[in-house]
Each structure stands twice: as C-alpha cells, then as structure tokens.
Amino acid sequence: MQKTLIVTAGLCALAFAADPLAEARRHIDAGRLGEARALLDELRKSRPADPDVLFTGLVVDYRQGSFAAVLAGIDGLAPLAANLEARILRAAALDALGRDEEADAELERLLKAPGAAARPALHLGHGQLLLQRGLNQQALARFEEACRLAPQWAEAMMWQGVALMKLGRTDSAVNAAEAAERGAPDLASVHSLLLKLYRLTGQEESAAKQAAWLRRNAGAGQ
Amino acid sequence: MRLILAACATVAMAQIRFEDVTPKSRIDFRLNNGAQGSLYQPELMPGGVAAFDFDNDGCMDLFFANGAGLPSLKKTGRGFHNRLYRGHCDFRFTDVTARSGLAGEGYSMAVAAADYDNDGFTDLFVAGVHRNFLYRNRGDGTFEDVSARAGIVTKDTQKDWSISAAWLDYDRDGRLDLFVSNYVHWDPAKEAPCGDPSHRIYCHPKSYAPQHHRLFRNQGDGTFADVSRDSGIAASPGKGMGVCVADAGNDGWPDVFVANDSVPGQLFNNKHGRFVEAGLEAGVAYPDSGKAIAGMGCGFRDIDGDGRPDVLVTGMVNDSYLLFRNLGRDLLFEDFTARAGLARSTVHLTGWSAGLFDFDNDGFLDLFTANSHFPRLERQMGMDPRLANSVFRGSSGDRFIDVSAAAGDLLAKRAFFRGTAFADFDRDGLLDAVVTALGDRPLILRNVSASAYHWIALALTGKASNRQGLGSRVSAVLPGGTVLHGYLTTSVGYASSSEPLLRFGLGPHSRVASIEIQWPGGANQKLTNLGADQVVAVTEP
C-alpha cells in the first residue's frame, strides 16, 4: 500500500477547480516529479504566496520522501495551516515518520472541523492510512463515506474494492471495482484490482482480458 | 502506557544482533562505480557479492564485483578490479585475486556462484554492462575465462546490461542453466541530462527502453545455448534488477521472479521447460494500489510455513517493501504487505538487496535489507541519502517487526548499500552478512544474536541432479510436528549470491524428527532423527 496515494486523493479533490496548477498536478500524478518541480519553481516567482502553489510543492516534497520538510512547510505557513488538504498531508507525513498518535489526532481534529466531514478526499486519505496499518474494516468505512460523498469518484470506488477484497468480501469488491472501471476506464490501478478479483473468484476469462489490457497499456515498454 | 509497553515488547524480542567486524576482516576492497560527475546510469547499480567456497576448504570465501571507468567501461586500474578473498573461518580474509585470475574486465555488476559443470568446484558468472563473464573454477585456486567458448558472450549479448543472475536447472536435466536479468538499453553517447540544470540528478528508468532477460541452457559439454526466445523468456522485456528462484506452484519446476525497476514485477512460470510470464495473473506485478514500484531486490521463500514460497520485493521511498503471500492455488498471490507490518515500517526506506533467513534460529524467517536512497537526491530528499541497513524479525510467520535499533552495529554505518551475501563465516550456526556499498568498503557483519535456539543445515551433493542440489525442496519435521520448508538456491536479494546450504532454525528443538528432500532430478529422500547444530552432508540416492 503506498503512502503516496493519500496525496493523490488530495490532488483529485483540488483538480475539480480549473487552475494553472493542473499541469504540475498531472505531472505529479504521473510520477514526473522533476517536471512538476520545475513548473512549480516557475510559478512561485509570480505567485510566491499562493497557497495552492505552496501546497503542491509540498506534495512533491512528500512524494520524494521529505516528510520533515512537509511538516515544516505546513506548520510554517499560515495560509496552509487552515487548508484541509494540507492538513491531510501533514497527517500523512506524521504517519510516515512513525508518529502514529499525532497522525491519528490530526485526522480526528480534521474530521471535526466545520465542513470537513463532507470532504471525500479526507475520508479517502484517512482510509488509506488505516489500510496501511492493516485496519481494513475501519478503512472500508472511510472509503464508503468517500464514495457516498462523491459517487462518481472512481478512485474512491477502487479503494473501496481493495478494502472489501482484503476483508474477503470478493463479490462486493468486484462490484465496486467494476463501478470504478465504468467511471475511469483508463485507470490502470482499477484494471489491476479487477484482475486480482477475477482470479480470486475464478473468472479466468475476465481476468485474462484485464491482463491483456494491462500488458497493452501499462507494460514495461509503456 | 501503550507506548511503554510496546517499547518493552520490542526489546524483549530483539534477539538479532550484528557486530561490525570489517576492520578485523582485512578486506580492503572498495566498490568503485567510476562516478566522475557525469551521472551515467550504471553508476547507481553495482555491486554484487558472492559468499562461496572456491577451494573446498570448508571456509566461506568472498567475491566482489566492481565497476569500471566511464564511459569507457574499462577497468583502467587496480581500483576497478573485481576481488576474491579466501576466508579463514574466523572473519579474516586473504586477497587472492591476483592468483585467481578474477580481476576481470569491463564494468561488473553482479555475481552468481554455482558448480555449473558438476566437477565439484564452484564457478562464477559475473554480470556487467555490455559484457558478461563465465569463469570456470579449475580447482587449483585459479579460474579460467570461458565466456566466449561457453557461448555466454555472443553478438546478441553485446548490448545487454545485466544486473543480476541466477543458476537453476530449469529443464531438470541435471545441469545448471543460467537466468540473466537484464535492465535497459543504455548508450553512454546518448545519456541525456536530467534534473535541474543547476543540480543534475540521475535519470529515471523511464528514460530508457527495457531489455529482455536471457536464459542459457547448459548443454553438458561446457557450452550453453541461448534459449531466451525458444523458452519464452525473451517475449517479456522488463527493467530487471534482482532475480529469485523457487518452485511457486510446487510442481517440481523452478519458477523465476524478477524485480523490475518502475515497471511491473515478473513471474516466469516454468511449464515443463517453457516459461510463461504470469506476474499480472499471479498478482505479483503490482501491489494492491495498482502502481508499479521501483523494484530492486527480491526474496522468494516460504514465510508463513505453508510450504509455498512467498515473494518479497524491496523498493524506493514511498513504495514500501512488498510482500506477496502465495495462496497456493492456481499460482495466485495476495498483497500481504500491510498485514505483515511492512507497509509502514519500510515506506521511508529505499532498499536494494534483501535476505529472508532465520537469523536468530527461532524457526521464523527474518528479513535483512541493504538500504540507501539514490545519490544526488540530497536536495530533493532534504536528508542524507545514505542509510543504515535494516533487520525485521519474523514473528509467528506472518509479521515482521523492525528490530534494527536493537541489532547492535547494524545502524552504526550509513552508506549507499547495495548487494548482500549471507553465509555462516565462523561456523557458529548463526548466519552472517556482507554488504557492499558504493564508494566504500563492504560492511562485514558477524551475527552475534544471543540465541539459545538450535539449527541444522544441509549440504547436498547431487548425482542425477546437479552437483550442488540447487532446486531441491526440503521439508524438516520438528518433534512437535511443525514443518519447516526450504528451497535451495544461491541467488539472493540483489546482484548477489549466498552459501549453497539449506539452513533451518529449529527454535528450542535439539533434534529434527525427519527431513524429506525432493531432488530436482525427481528422487525423494527421507532422513530421520537428526541431531541439531550441525551441517549434515547428504548425497542424492
């Protein structure tokens, strides 16, 4: 389970708004951190106090494993201290540094903040942290809440499927993953999940189709 | 209170301890990657190490693969020589490179040790950039370069960048064949700059096209045939790093797992001598997140004691080291990383080599990893990219606890660690480790775990099977009925090779009720009522 995903979740939520940062975020989502960093460095010259620019820079820091820098960045910048996604990122950085109790406290605080409980990204991110700790049932509850709040969000559906699979509820997991595939037919992670689920449930022909898709679209040469 | 209790529990279980005996070892080898500031990709990848007994004196010896000048790929001085050290069973080693003829040529990456010609002396395959070598052990302390004559080096292999290799008898004809994990197409003349102009960094593997791996079939007359295409191996290129061998389906045919760098991991399923790449179908290509990791080293051993080998892969920071549990039906694995406790304990690490061995002989496999982030990432990481190594204690067969902080000298050194070889150098029944590091001397770690537990090791001699019995599946039944499972291979972790023994930690048991050996040639052999704390020599019936 990858810690980075909580950050991806945050970005998905932000990406609903049209923003010149979109390209940098696309680079981050695709793992092109160098390109993202270059764009952000340029943006910071014209928008040095823009919290979105600052936040996205911290996402790059996080993805590069600079967890301490993330904490310092968020705690040191007032505009970010109240930013929900930044707080999620802070909780993830605390978790990555092994500061579990602080991470949990941060997330509890976030859920109680006005309006926060209605933010699907927060629930998705929280669920991913729980999944990393093997707390699958609790993680599922977070993913279900994310899906309830954002019924079209394929990534949330996919993670709901992952949690269901880990809980042994494979039929429900297949339903969630197939819904995610309908919402985002080009998301490789959804095809990977479906492949695992079809194999687990003995649907070998469907599994083979998923494997073929992945080999075509996400193989070593891609 | 919860924190205090947790801390106490950790100390109580932290029996694995290592002592740094590098100064005593007299090993002066320094891994030279040839870096001069141009950031050529091969600089990141050396170097392998092998623990093997080249002179059959009962003491484990060491071979280190070394780099070369760049972009020439030539060993322009002694500082680039590969090195062979003769062991004295007490962590002292003598440099015998000059006499052995193993100083080598070209840019070496990895080493795989095994007796490919069944003459009783262990030979070496040395993998490298655009040139590999096969050295036959003459049995008199010298080695002969037979690469061309044996057919290992051909016109087709001139552009291979080989990173790891493994010896296995894939067709079960009694002769060891060679699997070579290849990385990417690399041309120094086309190395593009990456990163910020004011701070260049090494390029991401996506900048390079993948290569297919190679399989060489041992023809029994000192020559090999490149069967990469006929066997199905060449059909699935990757960006290969570590390669591990085990019988995933328990069908008697050895399968091969390749950890790939930033593209899906591969599982080559051996179907009676032909391979089908089935990493996706088996569930080991991706973690549950569906994102390929920067796979480096691997382990392919039975972690949970169900008789089926599981897969471990080290990766880069934010990847977590992955553990795939073999479900035992239809070649299917599940991502077990989080439940094993590895998701969180390794997410901040970048790992290279890995070893799944029972370091405290308690009957559960532990995990040793050679760590380091990539050089030149100080600015991006906000930290020194050099790391200490880690050891995770296996507990109840399905959970790993990071006990590095209490593991003696393990944390004493931070470096760009890479390859690792495991062997019992002082014959005390505890498995020791040798770890290479870029630009540095290797770290020689003596296992000084305060373990009162027992152990047993098997030294196999094949007759119909290959001489070292590589590929043998062994089950050891303890007096209480617990069954331990092992698979004999020398290929381990990343670019490296370990002792050719099958070793079991027995916990408190001073005897083994029975041991059953399934030889790769097909014979079954059963031994009963064996005393612990010894290496048992077994000859194939």
The band of A16, judged by pLDDT with boundaries at 50, 70 and 90, is: very low
**pLDDT tens digits, residue range B86-104?**
999 999 999 999 999 999 9
Residue A217 burial (CB count, 10 A): 11
Tell me, what's the pLDDT at A222?
55
Strands of the sheet containing B143-145, edge to edge, are: B107-114, B123-129, B133-137, B143-145
- Rounded to two decimals, the pTM is 0.90
Interface of B with A in 429-448 (CB under 8 A): none
Say how far apart CA B283 and CA B289 lie, in whole Å.
Answer: 12
Residue range B387-403: average pLDDT? 92
Give B349 to chain A, closest Cα distance, Å.
9
Q: What is the DSSP letter of B373?
A: P
Which of the residues A167, A199, A200, A215 would you substitute to probe the B interface, choosing the one with the greatest number of B C-beta atoms within 10 Å? Answer: A199
The residue among B307, B296, B315 whose CA lies nearest residue B257 is B296
Contact (Cβ atoms closer than 8 angstroms) between residue B49 and residue B490: no
Q: Looking at beta carbons, which residues of chain A come within 8 Å of B291?
A: 2, 4-5, 189
Give A208 to chain B, closest Cα distance, Å.
8
For residue A106, pLDDT over 90 is answered with no
Q: Do B288 and A64 touch (CB under 8 A)?
A: no
Within 8 A by CB and 6+ apart from A63, the residues are: A4, A7, A28, A31, A33, B318
| Range in B196-210, B345-359, B394-408 the model is least confident about | B196-210
Q: Looking at beta carbons, which residues of chain A come within 8 Å of B263?
A: 219-220, 222
- Let me know how many helices (H) and strands (E) chain A has, helices first: 14, 0
**pLDDT tens digits, residue range B207-221?**
899 999 999 999 999
Tell me, what's the pLDDT at B315?
96
Q: Looking at beta carbons, which residues of chain B come within 8 Å of A211?
A: 280-281
Q: Is A207 on the interface with B (CB under 8 A)?
A: yes
Residue B429 parent element (H or E): none
The band of A19, judged by pLDDT with boundaries at 50, 70 and 90, is: low
Residue range B514-533: average pLDDT? 97
Reading the block at residue B452, the tokens are 């009162």
Say how far apart CA B488 and CA A125 lie, in whole Å.
Answer: 43
For chain A, give the percent of residues with pLDDT over 70.
88
Say how far apart CA B74 and CA B393 lie, in whole Å.
Answer: 42
Q: Is the ipTM of this complex over 0.95?
A: no
Q: Which CATH architecture has domain A1-113?
A: Alpha Horseshoe (1.25)
Residue range B60-84: average pLDDT? 97
For residue A219, pLDDT over 80 is answered with no
Angle between helices A4-14 and A84-96 (to 10 degrees): 170
Beta-strand ranges (E) seen in B274-350 are: 274-277, 298-301, 310-313, 322-326, 333-335
Select from B237, B290, B332 the Cβ nearest to the Cβ of A192: B290
Contact (Cβ atoms closer than 8 angstroms) between residue B243 and residue B298: yes
ω before B264 within 30° of 0 (cis)?
A: no
Burial B407-421 (b: 16+ CB within 10 A, else e): bbbbbebebbbbbbb
For chain B, give the percent of residues with pLDDT over 90.
87
Q: In whole angstroms, how far apart are CA A157 and each of A120, A141, A143, A153, B262?
A: 11, 12, 7, 7, 25
Q: What is the pLDDT of chain B when averaged over all its residues?
A: 94
Strands of the sheet containing B491-492, edge to edge, are: B93-95, B83-87, B61-64, B49-52, B496-497, B491-492
Q: Do A65 and B238 touch (CB under 8 A)?
A: no
Interface of A with B in 52-71 (CB under 8 A): 61, 63-69
Say how far apart CA B295 and CA B292 lie, in whole Å.
Answer: 8
Give the start-to-end residue ranges of the domains of chain A: 1-113
For residue B140, pLDDT over 90 is answered with yes
Q: Nearest chain B residue to A197 by CA: give it.
A: B283
Q: Looking at beta carbons, which residues of chain A come within 8 Å of B268?
A: none
For residue B11, pLDDT over 60 is answered with no
